[in-house]
Amino acid sequence: MKNKARFLLLVALLSGAAFAAVYARGPSSDSKAAQKGSRARVVSVELAKAELKSMPIDVDAIGTVTPIASVALKSRLDTTITAVHFEDGAKVSKDDILFTLDSRQIDAQIAQAEGVVAKSRASLVGAERDQRRFGDLIGKGATTQVSLDNANTQADVLRGTIEADQAALDNLKVQKTYTVIRAPISGRISAATVKVGNFVRPADVAPLATINQIAPIYVSFAVPQRVLVDLQAAVAASSSKVLATMPGDNQSEAGVVAMIENTVDTATGMVTVRAVMENAAERLWPGALVPTKLIIRNEQSVVVPSEAVQRSQTGDFVFVVKDGKARVQPVTVARTSEGRSMIATGLSGGEDVVVEGQLLLSDGTAVEARSRKAGA
């Protein structure tokens, strides 16, 4: 028993000495470093300014390019093509000569009609001479009233004949104009479907060629009915604007709203809008599908990069940096456009907001700003 008591006393003395040694040495260096790191943690973040600026209220859509005017050229005579005066796909102006048709048959008919008119005029001269002669004789009692009446009737008949013959001649002259086909509008012409020597007729289904007006040109697209009221007000105030861009082109064509369809599609809730684009450089091509942006109006708004806006169960927020600390600021996003968010409430403009590094932040975290990456 004495030996056991001595053993327990020895263990107690050794344990007390070890505790005293640890207590005297104080906290470990690892524990101190952890505490110091917790107190001095500073997160490097990228910042951007919340700007108060004029921003467009716009709607993106896919539009279809259609020509304002499109004319299919056809022959109005049964005849032969004698000349084609344009290159396939060329730009033509109004009244340019495009096709020449064989006019020899029409020329012969015109000459014949002119002869008939001349013959009728000569007959009228003789009938009028008879009128005068019978008029003189009836005064002398040398002829009867019947002879004078017949002479008057013959003269009237010949006057009507001349009018009919002249009308036939005029009709042939109109037919002659059909032997030269001119451009009724300015635009781009398609490839000719006929060449010199081809026989053409009015009954042909395929046109000789087609001209599409390119500048100006229509772009049609659909927008949600929720913007209809604002759009109607913008059109009335002439403040609307439409931008359309051909895929692969970095230049946009600008235009204005020309028409709002008078019916909303009940199946989709969309309304069709048609814009007139100047298209002076002919970037837009008929039949193409193009990204389209309808700008209804501009209004002042606080703008931040969209990557600054964070989302939580309680709503959207941004980290605002002030006095070297990040603070959580709840915001309401009105809309986004081209990587920018328009803030309706929560910011007034001029604040520094965090755009990168938010994952390491909490309310009150110390931060330091770093340079933004090139192109950010």
Residues contacting 202, CB < 8 A, separation 6+: 74, 75, 76, 77, 78
What pLDDT digit, counting tens, does each position of 184-217 carry?
Answer: 999 999 999 999 999 999 999 999 999 999 999 9
State both tokens at 230: 């604002």
Model confidence at 32: pLDDT above 50: no
Check whether residue 206 and residue 91 sit in a common domain: yes
Residue among 276, 275, 262 nearest 228 (CA):
262
- Return d(Cα 255, Cα 237) in angstroms, integer: 15
Number of domains in the chain: 4
Check whether residue 344 and residue 328 sit in a common domain: yes
Under DSSP, the state recorded for 195 is -
State both tokens at 69: 């005017």
Domain boundary among 261, 296, 331: 296
Domain boundary among 275, 296, 317: 296
Report if residue 9 sits inside a domain.
Answer: no
Residue among 86, 48, 348 nearest 208 (CA):
86
- Return d(Cα 69, Cα 189) in angstroms, integer: 12
pTM of the prediction?
Answer: 0.68
Q: CA 13, 8, 28 angle in degrees (round to 5)?
A: 40
What are 245's strand-pairing partners? Answer: none
Q: Are 87 and 234 in contact (CB under 8 A)?
A: no
Q: Are 331 and 347 in contact (CB under 8 A)?
A: yes
* φ, ψ of residue 35 in degrees (nearest 5): -65, -40
Q: Are 287 and 262 in contact (CB under 8 A)?
A: no
Check whether residue 83 and residue 204 sit in a common domain: yes
Residue among 126, 197, 198, 175 nearest 155 (CA):
126
User: What domain range includes position 271?
Assistant: 59-68+216-296
* Residue 207 belongs to domain with CATH number: 2.40.50.100
* Residue 135 belongs to domain with CATH number: 1.10.287
Q: How far is CA 284 from CA 58, 62, 201, 276, in A?
A: 21, 13, 34, 11
- Return d(Cα 57, Cα 224) in angstroms, integer: 14
Q: How many alpha carbons lie under 13 Å from residue 30 in its C-beta half-sphere?
A: 0
**Who has greater pLDDT, 14 or 285?**
285
What pLDDT is attached to residue 372? Answer: 67
Model confidence at 12: pLDDT above 80: no
What pLDDT digit, counting tens, does each position of 210-248 carry?
Answer: 999 999 999 999 999 999 999 999 999 888 899 999 998
Check whether residue 157 and residue 199 sit in a common domain: no
CB atoms within 10 A of CB 47: 21
Check whether residue 97 and residue 136 sit in a common domain: no
Q: How confident is the model at residue 4 (pLDDT cuts 50, 70, 90)?
A: low
What pLDDT is attached to residue 370? Answer: 84
3-class DSSP state of 179:
coil
Amino acid at site 365: T
Domain boundary among 270, 296, 322: 296
Model confidence at 349: pLDDT above 60: yes
Angle in degrees, 0-180, between the axes of helices 104-140 and 145-177, rounded to the nearest 10: 160
Q: How confident is the model at residue 31 (pLDDT cuts 50, 70, 90)?
A: very low
Length of the chain: 376
* Residue 223 belongs to domain with CATH number: 2.40.30.170
What pLDDT is attached to residue 298? Answer: 83
Report if residue 172 sits inside a domain.
Answer: yes
Dihedral (CA of 302, 343, 320, 361) sign: negative
Work out the average pLDDT over 167-191.
96
Check whether residue 87 and residue 155 sit in a common domain: no
Report if residue 31 sits inside a domain.
Answer: no
For the chain, the helix, strand and coil percentages under 3-state DSSP, each to the nearest 5: 35, 40, 30
3-class DSSP state of 246:
coil
Report if residue 13 sits inside a domain.
Answer: no
